[in-house]
């Protein structure tokens, strides 16, 4: 059983990125890190799901990830982001895109989610794509456009540690 709706978590992620991006603004080399576009959101949600599961053995949200060319994708989130960015996948998602889905997240969960997001914020979009394509991972083991098995995802992340 999952704890939250994925749109609630997407809202939290976007707000967290916007509210904490000032930590990185002094380093011009980190310009790409400040992005929160459709592609990065997909990878952040993938790793957030995985590392949350790794630490708690609970599913953060209940959705299907599809194995698309650039890695795992949640189609419903992709469509919302696509519309919000006027069909330009490389533009930042507006902060208020998911505001209607904002619901309370338990403090203990927020602590872990923040820890995971702090790590993911420092990784570029394209580095996250590469990490999602890691040999032996769920994306590689799934045919293009097919659903990545929840069992495969959970088994893969079960033994990974958040650094």
Full DSSP string of 80-135: HHHHHTTT-TTSPPPTTTTGGG-----HHHHHHHHHHHHHHHTS-HHHHHHHHT-T
pLDDT digits (tens, 9 = 90+) for 91-109: 788 888 999 999 999 999 9
Give the domain ranges of the chain.
2-158
> pLDDT at residue 26 above 70?
no
Collapsed DSSP state (helix, strand, coil) of residue 44: helix
Average pLDDT score over the chain: 88
**137 CB-near residues (< 8 Å, 6+ apart):** 156
**pTM (two decimals):** 0.90
**Are the C-beta atoms of residues 36 and 128 closer than 8 Å to each other?**
no
Percentage with pLDDT > 90 across the chain:
67
Full DSSP string of 48-70: HHHHHHHHHSSEEE--PPEEETT
pLDDT confidence band for 36 (50 / 70 / 90):
confident
pLDDT of residue 69: 96
Question: 50-83 burial by CB neighbour count: b if 16+ within 10 A, else e?
Answer: bbbbbeeeebbbebebbbeebbbbbeebbebbee
pLDDT digits (tens, 9 = 90+) for 47-90: 999 999 999 999 999 999 999 999 999 999 999 998 887 655 55
């Amino acid at each position: 059983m999952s704890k939250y709706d994925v749109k609630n978590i997407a809202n939290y992620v976007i707000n967290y990125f916007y509210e904490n991006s000032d930590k990185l603004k002094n380093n011009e080399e980190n310009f790409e890190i400040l992005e929160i576009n459709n592609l990065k959101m997909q990878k952040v949600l993938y790793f957030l799901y995985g590392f949350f599961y790794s630490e708690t053995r609970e599913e953060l949200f209940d959705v299907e990830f599809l194995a698309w060319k650039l890695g795992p994708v949640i189609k419903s989130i992709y469509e919302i982001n696509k519309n919000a960015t006027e069909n330009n996948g490389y533009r930042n998602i507006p902060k208020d895109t998911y505001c209607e889905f904002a619901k309370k997240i338990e403090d203990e969960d927020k602590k872990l989610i923040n820890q995971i997001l702090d790590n993911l914020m420092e990784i570029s979009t394209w580095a996250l794509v590469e990490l999602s394509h890691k040999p032996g991972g769920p994306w590689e083991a799934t045919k293009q456009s097919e659903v990545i098995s929840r069992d495969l995802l959970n088994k893969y992340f079960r033994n990974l540690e958040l650094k």
